[in-house]
Copies of this chain bind each other. A is one copy, B any other.
Amino acid sequence: MTQNGEPIVNATLVNPPSRAHQIHSFLLRNELRAWIAWRPDELLMLSGYFPFWGASLLIYFADQYPVLFVPQIEPRDHIPAGLRVQEYPWGDLKCADPYSVLVSAIANELVKAKVPPEQAGMNVSSSRTSLPIQAAEQIPMPESFSGLLSALTAKPNSVSRAGFADLYLRKTPEEIDAIRLANRVANVGLRAFFENLQPGIAEAEVAAAVESAIYREIGSDGIFHSRGWAMVQSGANSACAGRFNRSTGRRLENGDLVLIELATCVNGYWSDLTRTAAVGSPNTTVEPILAIATAAQQSAIDVIAPGVSAGYIDALARDKIAAEGLSSYFTHHTGHHVGFRYHDPGFLILPGESAVLEPGMVITIEPGVYVPERGGGARIEDNVLVTESGHEVLSRIEGAPA
Contacts and interface: CB of A to CB of B under 8 A. Distances in A.
Nearest to A142: B127
B244 A219 contact: no
A333 B138 CA distance: 20
A362 interface: no
Interface string A236-263: 0000101111111110000000000001
A196 B142 CA distance: 39
B135 A139 contact: no
Contact of A215 (B91, B204, B225, B332): B204
Contact of A93 (B53, B124, B209, B333): B333
Interface string A371-388: 000000000000000000
Interface centre among A135, A137, A209, A246 (most CB of B within 10 A): A137
A84 interface: no
A127 B216 CA distance: 30
B75 A219 contact: no
A331 B213 CA distance: 34
A248 to B, nearest CB: 6
A122 B176 CA distance: 41
B248 A218 contact: yes
Contacts of A212: 208-209, 211-212
- Copies per complex of this chain: 2
Nearest to A229: B136
A157 B145 CA distance: 13
A52 interface: yes
Nearest to A250: B219
Nearest to A143: B125
Contacts of A295: none
Contacts of A208: 211-213, 215-216
B246 A219 contact: no
Contacts of A125: 142-143
A130 B137 contact: yes
Contact of A263 (B73, B127, B137): B137
Which 10 pairs show the lowest CB-CB distances between chains A and B?
A219-B249, A204-B218, A136-B229, A208-B215, A73-B243, A125-B143, A136-B263, A208-B212, A212-B212, A137-B342
15 contacts: A75-B240, A124-B143, A125-B142, A127-B141, A128-B139, A129-B137, A134-B245, A137-B341, A138-B138, A202-B216, A207-B215, A208-B215, A211-B215, A218-B249, A225-B246
Given A93-B351, A202-B218, 13 more contacts: A75-B243, A91-B332, A126-B126, A127-B140, A127-B141, A127-B143, A136-B263, A136-B342, A140-B140, A204-B226, A209-B212, A219-B250, A225-B246
